[in-house]
A and B are shown apart, each in its own frame.
Chain A
Amino acid sequence: MTIAEKILARRSGQAHVGPGDLVTVPVDTVILFDNNFMSNRWREILKVNDPDSIIVVFDHRVPAATQQSATAQRTGREFVAKFGIKRFHDVGYSQGISHQLVADHGYAVPGDVLLCSDSHTCGAGVFNCIARGVGQPDIVYAAVKNETWFRVGETIRYQLKGKLPAAVTTKDAFLQIAGRFGDHATQNVEFGGPALADLSISARKTLTTMAAELSAEFATFEPDDVMMDWVRARNGKPFDPVYPDGDARYLAVREVDLSTLEPLVAFPDSVIENSKPVAAAAGTPIDQAFVGSCANGTLEDLTLVAQVLQGRRVSSKVRFIVTPGSQTIYRDAVRAGVVGTLLDAGAVVTPATCGACGGGHMGVLGPNETCITATTRNFKGRMGDPSAKIYMGSPATVAASAIAGVITDPREFLN
């Protein structure tokens, strides 16, 4: 069995599960966020199975963007108080994007089942667990019963080898996979291979988070000491790491040699079979550049941006918005001098929030504007007006473009 199949078998109490099966499993962790409490979605929960399994995070529109989002957050605080939810990330010290907080706080351990009502929940698969985004009814059901169902799909294995060249990141690796192999609807993706030794948790998490954009069911990494040390440093819960069986059946095994990659961009409206080398878009004027989200809001991402910006200024024609993934990352970036470099260059550093990534606030696009973004998604209308064009690249490509005022190859600034 593959990693996903083994966890689902273990947790559903079966010796074997495979593609086509429907499994029912207990849910260890249930994460609700501010949008869940919007009056056009919320159904008041009258009982929960285990308040300690629930985490509440305000992330999409924090601090509140509108009266409606303020009302939703008020409803959320009442829910937290009513059931005595201990892990509550309100506006303030522990604020952040839920998927980043899962990494920051070690909320997922190998073999766990974690649900959140946001599509990028799959990012937690970096910790060798079953994590997926679900809808509002699913998350309410999980809060009430700590149980859910999954359809088991085929698994595609990505065998990563080689070392990323300078100015090339796992965002480029993702764009390569999405561009070449297209969608993975109904399929799981599994990452492993010798390249892991050179990939940090943050770099790996970009790949699992972006698996949502492949329409993958589950994205899991093979366990290694780097990951297990990360988890143990943050969570005392014992765990049993899950390795794929030697005779695991994959729909395909695809090798990706990271050493051969170059900076890529996805052209507007989709990442599916829509990536090209940055040269294909180079020279395109931009109005906004954006780095942030659950995919690229880590200290590593911000540090990479600072390396590109060091001693330079953002183009007067460009708004460069940087949104850290959590306030913890923000504080660390301030202490490391990273935020100072960004501010000196003319970037705007916002509080940790999903913000402009979902078009909610803090950098919404106007009609016919062009943006290059290192976030999760570039759908038509995603970040504001549907006529806006959204290119996607790595944080390095976005920072280089912010300086030049046009889409630019980051290797011109980083060598």
Chain B
Amino acid sequence: MKFQARVWKVGDNINTDLILPIQAFYLSAQEQAQYVFRSNRPGWAEEVQPGDILIGGRNFGMGSSRPAARSLKNLGLSCLLAHSLNGLFFRNCVNFAFPAMDCPGVDEAFDEGDVAEVDFDTGVVRNLSRDKTLTAVVLPPKLLELLKAGGIFPLLEKEGAIAAAR
């Protein structure tokens, strides 16, 4: 599982309420995606192109259990790398099939607009604009498999444990 695209950068301690604010609580999943970073980076959601990569600093995704990872996926981002990820946020990434890895130092290795190449099988992260290479924390095989299979809902749907998506 490999991605190559330009990167957007955000800082440390990006929380779930910035990604999925209370104003969007009652909206559909697709509509919620347009609210990502509305209060800290107005207008950004409209600028994101399909496949773009997001890079965060320390403690990305701290906060709530809300499906904020789903909003990043629905916005069209291909994957997320952060110096460190909140554990609950990481679970939501895997379970909603939005690729994300802890990658210590990644926030210092990239400037916004650089082009990244990210390999989720090997953990190798390259900054193609600056000829730098980092190593991310590869997901355990079981979680990588779950991510590639589309997350938890398709799995449970196939088993007949949950109803088909409407």
Contacts and interface: CB of A to CB of B under 8 A. Distances in A.
Nearest to A122: B88
Contacts of B69: 135
Contact of A137 (B40, B63, B90, B95): B95
A183 B59 contact: yes
Interface string A135-164: 111101100100001010100000000000
A213 B157 CA distance: 33
Interface in A27-61: 35, 38, 40-41, 43-47
A75 to B, nearest CB: 12
Given A43-B162, A46-B161, A360-B22, A119 B153 contact: no
Nearest to A69: B26
A327 to B, nearest CB: 24
B127 interface: no
Contacts of B153: 43, 137, 140
B90 to A, nearest CB: 8
Contact of A215 (B22, B25, B27, B59): B59
A135 B65 contact: yes
A277 interface: no
A118 interface: yes
A358 interface: yes
Interface in B45-98: 58-59, 62-67, 69, 84-88, 90-92, 95-96
B15 to A, nearest CB: 5
Interface string B138-166: 00101100000001110011001111010
Nearest to B151: A137
A151 B58 contact: no
B17 interface: yes
Nearest to B68: A135
Contact of B162 (A45, A183, A272): A45
Given A40-B32, A136-B67, A386-B39, A186 B102 contact: yes
Contacts of B59: 183, 185, 215, 272
B156 A140 contact: yes
A359 B17 CA distance: 11
Nearest to B60: A185
B105 interface: no
Contact of B142 (A41, A149, A183): A149
A217 interface: yes
Contact of A132 (B88, B95, B96, B163): B88
A40 B29 contact: yes
A22 B144 CA distance: 12
B13 interface: yes
Given A377-B63, A381-B22, A185 B86 contact: yes
Given A133-B88, A149-B142, A138 B152 contact: yes
B21 interface: yes
Interface in A351-392: 358-360, 377, 379-382, 384, 386
Contact of A183 (B40, B62, B64): B62
A268 B88 CA distance: 23
A135 B26 contact: no
Given A380-B17, A386-B21, A141 B152 contact: yes
Query: What are the 9 tightest A-B residue pairs by CB atom distance, in nearest-first order?
Result: A137-B95, A386-B39, A137-B152, A44-B163, A135-B92, A183-B59, A22-B140, A359-B22, A185-B84
Given A136-B65, A140-B152, A360-B25, 19 more contacts: A22-B140, A35-B66, A40-B27, A43-B162, A43-B165, A46-B160, A133-B88, A135-B65, A185-B59, A212-B63, A215-B86, A270-B13, A270-B15, A360-B22, A377-B17, A380-B18, A380-B39, A381-B21, A384-B22
21 contacts: A35-B66, A43-B153, A119-B64, A132-B88, A133-B65, A133-B88, A134-B91, A135-B65, A135-B96, A137-B151, A141-B152, A144-B156, A144-B161, A149-B142, A151-B90, A185-B87, A186-B85, A186-B87, A272-B13, A272-B62, A381-B22
Interface of B: 13, 15, 17-18, 21-23, 25-29, 32, 38-40, 58-59, 62-67, 69, 84-88, 90-92, 95-96, 102, 140, 142-143, 151-153, 156-157, 160-163, 165
